Chains A and B, each alone.
Chain A
Amino acid sequence: DVKVTQSSRYLVKRTGEKVFLECVQDMDHENMFWYRQDPGLGLRLIYFSYDVKMKEKGDIPEGYSVSREKKERFSLILESASTNQTSMYLCASSWTGDVYGYTFGSGTRLTVV
């Protein structure tokens, strides 16, 4: 089975801290994605990447950046965490043309205090 692993299940950080959320997939997928999920808003796409060192903005990139130095790893960076970034963060990956769509990780619940 494809596995998408997010490094932390729960994370508590202070306002102003730089936060790194890590995601690793083990099936050589080209594409990787970061979403955040908030009650009543569904999943919203933050950033995605179709290849190493490539990145594209999703619908809500403000306050975030990403890094993809290796194919299997896609990092989401909160440069200066704020309380409105408290959320569930979900990573996903896929092959281009994969008819089964995306495989998701279990999520990281980030609380910024």
Chain B
Amino acid sequence: DAKTTQPPSMDCAEGRAANLPCNHSTISGNEYVYWYRQIHSQGPQYIIHGLKNNETNEMASLIITEDRKSSTLILPHATLRDTAVYYCIVYNNNDMRFGAGTRLTVKP
């Protein structure tokens, strides 16, 4: 059971922000929210993670709601190379379960 819910697909225009939502209503207090992405024919790649504060790195920003039941991954200026499947995972140092993710297509 992946414990997260994501839309199956989204489109985004090149250069615009891509906002990918994730619901994790059963998250427990010590579980982190992780985001990975998988570009076609490659293994998943770590993007960002957070516990309750918003986080930003060179790849993306992560916004976690105050009740921690949902989060949004933001790619501020999407490029064609950001086309991938994005996975939202709740994790606390145990085995990581992946759902089906969101297939993001960035269009020119």
What residues make up the interface of A, taking CB atoms closer than 8 Å to B? Answer: 4, 33, 35, 40-45, 48, 56, 58-59, 90, 92, 96-97, 99-107
Contacts and interface: CB of A to CB of B under 8 A. Distances in A.
Contact of A90 (B34, B43, B46, B89): B43
B96 A99 contact: no
Interface stretch (B17-25, B62-70, B73-81, B98-106): B98-106
A100 B95 contact: no
A40 B100 contact: yes
Interface of B: 2, 32, 34, 36, 41-46, 49, 87, 89, 91, 93, 95-101
A33 to B, nearest CB: 7
Contact of A101 (B96, B99, B100): B96
A99 B43 contact: no
Contact of B98 (A4, A42, A96, A99): A42
B101 A42 contact: yes
